[in-house]
Amino acid sequence: MSAAKSRPSWQLIFTIAMYGFMYLPIGILAFYSFNASRYSSRWEGFSLRWYVSLLNDSRILSSLWDSLTVAIVAVAISAVLGTMMAVGLAKYQFRGKGLYRGISYLPLIIPDIAIAVATLVFLVTLSSVFSFVRLSIWTIIAAHIVFCLAYIAVVVSTRLAGLNPDLEEAALDLGATPRQAFIKVLLPELMPAILSGCLLAFVLSMDDLLISSFTAGSGASTLPMEIFSRVRTGVRPDINALSVILILVSGMLAFVSEYFRYRSDQRRSN
């Protein structure tokens, strides 16, 4: 019996294999990002040359700036619209509310390729009517708002469902106007969820390739688009280094998002 207990269970073996399959490639990628060789498959010693070369790569820096511009603007607009949408759906009753809710959350389940093609067709049709509509970085931002809005609205709606409705009603009974009750009572309670939703949407926007590729003009190129154009000719160590940096930044944002969620749950439990 003791021998049977000492054997690793199949659940443990499966768990180790699963995590190894997910994280071993990332470890190998990080290891070869410090490779002095030009070729990822051959180790020639430790070096930081590829991290330094990223700072001197104008195309990478330009595409990074485009990605940051798209993500920041899209998330900022989506944070306002998504919060208003979540509050409106939670507090008000109107005809077609269920249909509107379903349509608003469709970007969460529709494949990216379908959203990309539909957005491109819509923009092309719009450009045939209005001559000033052209594919550019602003069309990428408009397309990103569509799915960022849905993610932020879902996170805020989840927070709203757990709030005590008596808080806002108490503020109204004490003489606050509906606007004051929203700004001073409801909005501070929603802020952790809004920040978490914004961080999630920011990471998704920075990571998007399909929608950006379909809606970008000739003068716009986001970071995923630049990386994809380079890996088609082979993975080089500078791409490994860039991938490691992106993984670290994404992990940090996920940690911050989880921290806000934890603080929000602690406040609710107290």
Residue 110 falls inside a structural domain:
yes
Residue 146 falls inside a structural domain:
yes
CA distance 249 to 240: 14
CA distance 155 to 193: 6
Residue 254 falls inside a structural domain:
yes
Cβ-contact 33, 51 below 8 angstroms: yes
Residue 184: give its domain's CATH number. 1.10.3720.10
Which positions ≥6 away from 39 have C-beta within 8 Å? 237
Residue 16 falls inside a structural domain:
no
CA distance 145 to 148: 5
Q: 137 lies in which domain range? A: 48-269
Partner residues linked to 46 by β-bridges: 35
pLDDT at 1: 46
> What does the pLDDT profile of the chain (270 residues) look like in tens digits?
455 556 667 788 888 888 888 888 888 888 888 887 776 667 777 888 888 888 888 888 889 899 999 999 999 999 999 999 888 888 878 788 888 888 888 888 888 888 888 888 888 888 888 877 788 889 999 999 988 999 999 888 888 877 777 777 787 777 778 788 888 888 888 888 888 889 889 988 988 888 999 988 777 888 888 888 887 776 677 888 888 888 888 888 778 777 776 776 666 666
Counting the structural domains of the chain, the total is: 1
CA distance 44 to 46: 7
pLDDT at 112: 86
CA distance 37 to 45: 7
Cβ-contact 120, 215 below 8 angstroms: yes
CA distance 75 to 17: 36
Residue 137 falls inside a structural domain:
yes
Residue 171 falls inside a structural domain:
yes
Residue 234 falls inside a structural domain:
yes
| Chain center to CA of 181 | 30
Cβ-contact 255, 243 below 8 angstroms: no
Output the CA torsion 227→29→32→203 (10° steps): 50
Residue 94 falls inside a structural domain:
yes
